[in-house]
Amino acid sequence: MEKREGQGIIRLTEVDKSFDDEKVVKKLNLDVREGEFLTMLGPSGCGKTTTLRMIAGFEQPDSGEILLEGRNVAGKKPNERNVNTVFQNYALFPHMNVFDNIAFGLVEKKVKKDEIRTRVQEMIKLVKLDGMEKRMPSQMSGGQKQRVGIARALVNRPKVLLLDEPLGALDLKLRKQMQGELKHLQRRLGITFIYVTHDQEEALTMSDRIAVMNNGILEQVGTPEEVYNHPETKFVADFIGESNILEGYVEHVYEDAIGVTMESGKARIPETGYNSEEMVYLCVRPENLKIDARSHEGFSLRGQVREHIFIGSINKTMIELPNGQMLKAETPAEDELVPVGTVVNIYWNPGKVVVMRTKEEMIYNIIERSVQIEGMPNEPIF
Amino acid sequence: MNRFFKKHLGVFVTVGPTVLWLGIFLLIPLAYVILMTVLTKNAYGGMDFIFTLENYRNLFANEYLKVFGDSIWLSLQTTVICLVVGYPFAYILANAPKRWKGFLVMLLMLPFWTNSLIRTYGWNTLLRTEGILNHFLQGVGLIDQPLEMLYTDGAVLLGMVYALLPFTVLPLYTSIEKLDKSLLEAGSDLGASRVHVFTRIIFPLTMPGIFAGSIQTFIPSLGFFFISDMMGGAKTMYIGNLIKNQFLSARNWPFGAALSIVLIVITLILMKLYTRVGSLEDMA
C-alpha cells in the first residue's frame, strides 16, 4: 500500500458490505488524515452513508478492515469507539432537555458533575444556544436541534466526528449559514470531520478533501480543486459541477499530443500516454468551452447556436452538434451574444480539457487486474 | 316535525341505531343498577322501594374491605408479573424481522379465538392432583406425592397472568415498535452500554406503553371471577366472586349493585388516568 502524507487516523482497506445480496460498498480503500475535513459525496444509494455507519460501528463490514488510530475495530461496538455521530434526523432524546441531551455522553463516562456542567455550558456557547438549556427537543426548530446534535457529539471530544447529511433537513438559507459555522468549528477544534452529503456544492465549499462515491465504488479522492478540475472518471466530471462530455477515440498519437476523433469533429489535445484506437471521453467545463466565428488551430468541431439562457451574472449558450448532442458554454452576461442559428467553431484553451479513458476501457482494466490478482488464467473476457 | 326529520335523516340513520342500542342495553340497565343500590332487600331475595344507604355502609365492613384488599393485591401482582414477562416478549416481537411480525402477533392472539372458560379448564387438566403435570413429575421420579398445585392462590395468579398477558404485551409492543431506532444508535454512539441504552432511553420512552399495558391488565383483572372460581376453588374471595355471589347465591341484589358501582368507579378513575397519560404522550 502506498504511503500518504499526513497522519492517517482512519484507514479502510478493501471494505465490502452487502445488504440482502445487494453489494452496497465494494472493495473500498480510504485513508482519512488527522484533522482534515473529508466529505463523502455521491448520489443517494451510493454507499456513502453505509461507509460512515461502518466507521461508527452501526454496521459491520462483510470483509476488509477498518483501522481507527491504527487499531482494527472489527467487532467493536459503537460505544467502544472514539468517534461520535451527528445524525440527519438529529436523533435527540425526546425525553431529555437540551442540557441532558448534551450531557448524555459525559454521564456515561462518569465525568464529575461540576465538569459536566462546565463542559456542557461551553458547548452550548459554542453552538450558540445560550439560554436554551431547559428546552425540550420538541420545542426547537430544525436548525436548533441540529446544533444540539452537534454539541452532544462534540462534548465528548471525539477523535473523529461523523456527520451523516446533518444539514439535509434544513432550508437553503439556514443550510448555507450552518455550513459556514461547521467549517469554522472544525478549523477551531482541529477535529477530523467525515461529512456525508449528496450536495456537491456543499462538498466543494466545506471540504479539505472530497471522496466521490458511486454504486459502492470510490471513484476519486482529492481536494475540491482536483476533483473539479481534474476529474478522473466520467461520473466525477458529470456529478461535480456541469460538464460537456464528448466521446471519441485516439486516431493519431503525436509526440506531445493526441488527435481525438469524435462523431462531430476532431480535436488535437496536448496529452500523452494514450494509445492509438483507445476510446476516450473529453470533458470540458461550460466556462471553458469557447465559440468563435473563425476556426482555431487543432480544432475542427462545429455546431449551431440554439438558445441563450440568462442566469444573472452569466449567459448560458446551448450549442447543438451535428449528431444532436447539446453542449453548454458559459459567458459573462455583458459579452455580446452570438445570434441563435449561427454556425460556430467550438474550441477550448489548452489545459482546459480533461481526457479520460471510457468506462468500458476502465472496466476492462479492472477485470484484467482482478483476474491477475485471483491468479486465474488471463483469458480475454470481451 | 316532518321537515326536521328530513333535515336530520343522515344523523338518525347513522348514529340513531347506536344511540338506541346503548340506551336500551347500557344506560337503562346502568340507571337500574344505580337505583338498586339505594333500595332495601327483602326477605324473599327481591327489593322493596325503601330508600337506604345501608348497602354503601356495608361496604366498609371488615370482611368486605379485606375482599377489596385481596382483589387489588392480586391484580397488582398479576399486573407486575405480566409486565415483567411481557416486556421482553413485546421487545422481541417489536424487533422481529418484518415478515415474522404479523405471524408472531397472530400467535399471541390465537388463544383468544377459544373461549376463555375452556382455556381455564385446560389449566385444571394440567395442574390437578391427578393432572398431566403431576403424572409427568411422578413418572420422571422427581416427586413421590402429587403436588397440590390447583386450588391455591398461586394457581389463581397463574391463571390471571395467562389470561391477561396479551393485554399487557400489545400496548408495550406498539410503544416499543414506535421507538425511533436512531435514538438507540445515538445512545450507543455516545458511549452507552446495552444496559444503559435500555435504562436511559428505551425504558423512559416506552413508559406510556408500560402504563397503558398496566391499566389494560389491571382493570379486567379486578373483575375476573371465573378464574378464581375454577382455579382457586373459591378459597379466597375476590370482588368479582363477591358480586357474582350477591346476585346469584345470597340474592342480595342491592348490595351486589353497590359493589358493582364501586368497581365501575375504580375503573373510571383508572381510565381517566389512562387517557390523561395518552394525551401526554401525544404532546411529546
The per-residue pLDDT for A375 is 47
Tell me if chain A has a CB within 8 Å of the CB of B97.
Answer: no
Chain A residues in contact with B283 by the CB 8 A cut-off are 138
Task: Measure the CA angle with vertex A30, ends A26 and A32; round to 5°.
Answer: 150
The per-residue pLDDT for A378 is 46
User: What beta strand segments (E) does A20-77 contain?
Assistant: 22-33, 37-41, 63-68, 71-72
Q: In chain A, whose CA is at the least distance from the CA of B196? A: A108
The per-residue pLDDT for B121 is 86
Question: Span B108-132, mean pLDDT?
Answer: 85
Between chains, do B188 and A84 touch, taking CB under 8 Å as contact?
A: no
A vs B: CB pairs below 8 A: 64
Chain A residues in contact with B189 by the CB 8 A cut-off are 56-58, 78-79, 83-85, 153
Residues B256-277 have pLDDT tens digits of 999 999 999 998 998 888 887 7
Between chains, do B183 and A58 touch, taking CB under 8 Å as contact?
A: no
The per-residue pLDDT for B229 is 84
Q: Is the pLDDT of residue A373 over 50?
A: no
Q: Is the pLDDT of residue B279 over 80?
A: no
Between chains, do B192 and A58 touch, taking CB under 8 Å as contact?
A: no
Q: Percentage of chain B surpassing pLDDT 70?
A: 97
The per-residue pLDDT for B284 is 44
Q: Is the pLDDT of residue A22 over 80?
A: yes
Question: Span B158-187, mean pLDDT?
Answer: 93
Interface of A with B in 43-72 (CB under 8 A): 56-58
CB atoms within 10 A of CB A94: 15
Residues B33-49 have pLDDT tens digits of 999 999 988 887 788 88
Q: In chain A, whose CA is at the least distance from the CA of B282? A: A138
Q: What is the DSSP string of A308-352?
A: EEEETTEEEEEEE-TTS-EEEEEEETTSPPPPTT-EEEEE--TT-
Q: In chain A, whose CA is at the least distance from the CA of B204? A: A95
Cβ-in-10-Å burial (0-12, 13-18, 19+) of B145 comes to exposed
Between chains, do B186 and A95 touch, taking CB under 8 Å as contact?
A: no
Distance CA A37, CA A183 (A): 8
Within its chain, how far is the Cα of B80 from the centroid? Answer: 13
Tell me if chain A has a CB within 8 Å of the CB of B187.
Answer: yes
Between chains, do A108 and B192 touch, taking CB under 8 Å as contact?
A: yes
Which homologous superfamily does the CATH classification assign to the domain defined by A242-356?
A: Nucleic acid-binding proteins (2.40.50.140)
Distance CA A36, CA A238 (A): 25
Going by pLDDT thresholds of 50, 70 and 90, the confidence category of residue A368 is: low
Nearest neighbour of B189 by CB, restricted to A84, A92, A93: A84
Cell numbers that stand for A328 in this block? 453548454
Q: Any residues with CB less than 8 A from the CB of B247 and at least 6 apart, and which?
A: B253, B256
Tell me if chain A has a CB within 8 Å of the CB of B279.
Answer: no
Between chains, do B284 and A138 touch, taking CB under 8 Å as contact?
A: yes
Distance CA A286, CA A241 (A): 9
Residues A222-271 have pLDDT tens digits of 999 999 999 988 899 989 988 999 988 899 999 899 999 998 889 999 98
Going by pLDDT thresholds of 50, 70 and 90, the confidence category of residue A7 is: low
Q: Structure pTM?
A: 0.79
Q: Which domains does chain B have, with CATH numbers?
A: 59-283 (1.10.3720.10)
Chain A residues in contact with B188 by the CB 8 A cut-off are 57-58, 77-79
Question: Span B85-112, mean pLDDT?
Answer: 90
Q: What is the DSSP string of A86-102?
A: E-TT----TTS-HHHHH
Nearest neighbour of B182 by CB, restricted to A84, A91, A153: A91
Nearest neighbour of A105 by CB, restricted to B183, B191, B201: B191
Query: Bigger pLDDT: B20 or A365?
Result: B20
The per-residue pLDDT for B145 is 82
User: What's the gap in Å between the CA of A229 and the closest CA on chain B?
Assistant: 37
Q: Is the pLDDT of residue B282 over 70?
A: no
Tell me if chain A has a CB within 8 Å of the CB of B193.
Answer: yes
Q: Percentage of chain A surpassing pLDDT 70?
A: 92
Tell me if chain B has a CB within 8 Å of the CB of A93.
Answer: yes
The per-residue pLDDT for B249 is 87
Tell me if chain B has a CB within 8 Å of the CB of A110.
Answer: no
User: Do A8-235 and A242-356 fold alike per CATH?
Assistant: no
- Per-residue b/e over B65-89, b at no fewer than 16 CB within 10 Å? eebbebbbebbebbbebbbeebbeb
Going by pLDDT thresholds of 50, 70 and 90, the confidence category of residue B137 is: confident
Residues B62-73 have pLDDT tens digits of 999 999 999 999
Distance CA A380, CA B138 (A): 76
Residues A91-121 have pLDDT tens digits of 999 999 999 999 999 999 999 999 999 999 9
Between chains, do B191 and A156 touch, taking CB under 8 Å as contact?
A: yes
Q: In chain B, whose CA is at the least distance from the CA of A59? A: B185
Q: In chain A, whose CA is at the least distance from the CA of B206? A: A95
Q: In chain B, whose CA is at the least distance from the CA of A153? A: B190
Cell numbers that stand for B73 in this block? 393485591
User: What's the gap in Å between the CA of A83 and the closest CA on chain B?
Assistant: 8
* Amino acid found at A122: E
Q: Where in chain A are the domains?
A: 8-235, 242-356
Going by pLDDT thresholds of 50, 70 and 90, the confidence category of residue A359 is: low
A8-235 is classed CATH 3.40.50.300: yes
Between chains, do B190 and A108 touch, taking CB under 8 Å as contact?
A: yes
A interface test, pick of B182, B188, B190, B281 with most A CB neighbours within 10 Å: B190
Point out the least confidently predicted range of A264-273, A364-373, B152-161: A364-373
Residues A287-315 have pLDDT tens digits of 999 998 888 988 999 999 999 998 888 89
